[in-house]
Structure 1
Amino acid sequence: MDKETLLSCRDVSLGYEGHTVWEHLTFSVHSGEYLCIVGENGSGKSTLLKSLLGLLPPLKGVIRRSEAAGAVGYLPQQTQAQRDFPATVSEVVLSGFLSARGRRFFYSAAEKSQALMHMGKLGILELKDRCYRELSGGQQQRVLLARALCAARRLLILDEPVTGLDPAAAQDLYRTLAYLNKNEGLAIVMVTHDLQSALQYADTVLYAGQGKWFHGTTAEYLASPYGRRFGGERT
Structure 2
Amino acid sequence: MRKIVILTGAGISAESGLGTFRDAGGIWTKYPLEDVATPEGFARDPVLVHEFYNARRVQAAAAQPNAAHHALARLQRDWPGEVVIVTQNVDGLHEAGGASNVIHMHGTLAGALCAGCGHRWVAPETMDTTTPCPACTRPSARPDVVWFGEMPYYMDTIFDHLASADLFAAIGTSGQVYPAAGFVQEATASGARTIELNLEPSAVASNFDETRFGPASRVVPDWVSDMLGLRG
TM over 0.5, yes or no? no
Relative CO higher for 1 or 2, CA cutoff 8 Å, sep ≥ 6?
1
TM-score (norm 2): 0.35
| Structure with more strand by fraction | 1
TM-score (norm 1): 0.35
